[in-house]
Amino acid sequence: MNVRARQDWTAVFRTATVFGVVGVIWLIFSQLTPFFLTQPNLYNIGIQSSNVAIIAAGLTIVLIAAEIDLSIGAIQALAGSVAAVVIIREEQPVWLGIGLALAVGVLVGIANGLITWKLRIPSFIATLAMLGIAVGSALLITENAPINGYPESYLDLWTGRTYWDFPVVIIIAVAVLFVVHTVLNRTRIGRHIYAVGGNAEAAELSGIKAGRVRLIALTISGLTAAIGGAILSARLDAGSAEFGTEDLLPAVAAVVIGGTSLFGGRGSIWGTAAGVLLLTSIANGLILLDVDDAWRQIIIGLMIVLAMLLDQILKSERSLGLSHIPGLRSLLRRAAATNDR
């Protein structure tokens, strides 16, 4: 149980570090431009973070299970396209369009899981293939052209404001993050996801169906990607095969920066949220400073490399050296005792 406490402490340390870096970034940009720390811009950062945070939450689950989902951006595009076709072109009720968009995400996630589980095709290959299938399907149903003109009821659902002018989409994103966090940390399937990602063979020997766990993880990822797609389509007031596909890299970067291991068994939803906020803040600040978008892509790539280096440093207790900090061992023992109760 001390091992578990140590892992929990490492996740908290990593998440706090990323949030600390966010604070430093905000301080720097506030000195470079007077517009950064204004309420409208902070709301913009939250809105811009929302759909990426939601799809990154699903990706976090998949990576903890030691798998990968490269189709999340394409699922976003497909879900938004389905919603547009049903609601705008076919003039069907908003609830039907949303339901079908989310159902498509779930079905794609199930397909990814079954291909990985039953056909024993690595998720990297399965989801890469599904990326192409999803984008191609979106192109077909939209006839290779954006479909715009959502009714106000659809736009208000995803992009409206509360009575105190707070963006609804931020509330939705926080709610999704909280639900996914609860699933990972308060349910049996969450424990199984960590177990399979940490050591699939040991998990199988203990009676856990690793293939079924991976199926559930990829299905959840498909659902969260579809929610992100619906939000993005409302923000852009259109459905298109191109809307959302570029969010794969920021989502992966945010999850890795937030401390989720690419090798499975370790990760935190709130660490992912911190990673999303960090990347979005940097992108927003660079836009305010009129910096070329190419630099944002370069920075994201460099941050992934730095995050992987930090992950290697934190990988073992000896590298981190936390167990030698005075008072930390007793802290871990108390945390372990609390978990036991």
> In degrees rounded to 5, what are phi and psi of residue 167?
-60, 125
Residues of the chain with pLDDT > 70, as a percent, come to 88
The reported pLDDT for the residue numbered 240 is 94
The reported pLDDT for the residue numbered 292 is 82
Q: Which residues contact 167 (CB under 8 A, 6 or more apart)?
A: 43, 46, 47, 50, 159, 160, 161
pLDDT tens-digit series, residues 265-312: 889 999 999 999 999 999 899 999 988 878 877 887 887 787 777 667
Range in 154-158, 163-167, 170-174, 225-229 the model is least confident about: 163-167
pLDDT tens-digit series, residues 103-156: 999 999 999 999 999 999 999 999 999 999 999 999 999 999 999 999 999 998
Per DSSP bridges, beta strands 147-148 and 238-239 are antiparallel
Q: What domain count does the chain have?
A: 1
- Supply the DSSP string of 128-186, one letter for each residue: HHHHHHHHHHHHHHHTTS-EE---HHHHHHHH-B-TTS-BHHHHHHHHHHHHHHHHHHH
The reported pLDDT for the residue numbered 170 is 94
Task: Take residue 17 and report the two structure tokens written for it.
Answer: 């570090």
**Structural domain that includes position 110:** 2-340
- Specify the DSSP class assigned to residue 119: S
Confidence of residue 328 (pLDDT cuts 50, 70, 90): very low
Range in 95-99, 198-202, 274-278, 332-336 the model is least confident about: 332-336
pTM: 0.86
Mean pLDDT of 171-177: 96
Which helix (H) or strand (E) segment is 238 a member of? strand 238-239
| CATH assignment at residue 330 | 1.10.3470
Mean pLDDT of 29-37: 93
Mean pLDDT of 49-58: 95
The reported pLDDT for the residue numbered 134 is 97
If you average pLDDT over every residue of the chain, what do you get? 87
Task: Take residue 259 and report the two structure tokens written for it.
Answer: 């401390």
pLDDT tens-digit series, residues 196-226: 999 999 999 999 999 999 999 999 999 999 9
The reported pLDDT for the residue numbered 1 is 40
**Would the CA dihedral through 327, 328, 329, 332 be positive or negative?**
positive
Mean pLDDT of 259-270: 89
Residue 323 has pLDDT above 70, yes or no: no
The reported pLDDT for the residue numbered 272 is 95
The rounded distance, in Å, linking the Cα atoms of 40 and 27 is 17
Residue 169 has pLDDT above 90, yes or no: yes
The rounded distance, in Å, linking the Cα atoms of 230 and 252 is 20
Residue 321 has pLDDT above 50, yes or no: no
Residue 324 has pLDDT above 50, yes or no: no
